[in-house]
Structure 1
């Protein structure tokens, strides 16, 4: 999955100055692997390029690179 965001401008709740952020892109990669008839392993890496944002996001933080793992089984 590729996430693309264009530049943004919005009002800050704590001041009259608008908050401006540049556009950026983020690449996520994931997949699944069937271990058996009943069990599937799922994995994903979000923000594969470990994109860091250097602008004020009004106390909202963008996560760095992170890994997600899950195992589903049925019986």
Structure 2
């Protein structure tokens, strides 16, 4: 029979793992959001349009919906 303390230890480990998982996912999402914002600034300032275009494609591949929207609008208006 398991002790109450064993169950508490298992629960703490599971919650720590879940917290680590969520933090990792948030960091991953944050990277794409930051990349997207930098891209927009570069693209519209016309500093480095080729580089901005490349990063925009990367952000879109990473699942950033705003990047998809910008790509569609760019190609639609050409």
Q: Same fold (TM over 0.5)?
A: no
> With structure 1 as the length reference, what TM-score do the two structures score?
0.25
Of structures 1 and 2, the larger Rg is shown by 2
Q: When you count strand as a share of all residues, which structure comes out higher?
A: 1
**Taking CA–CA contacts closer than 8 Å with sequence separation of 6 or more, which of the two structures ends up with the larger relative contact order?**
1
Higher fraction of helix: 2
Name the TM-score, length of structure 2 as normaliser. Answer: 0.24
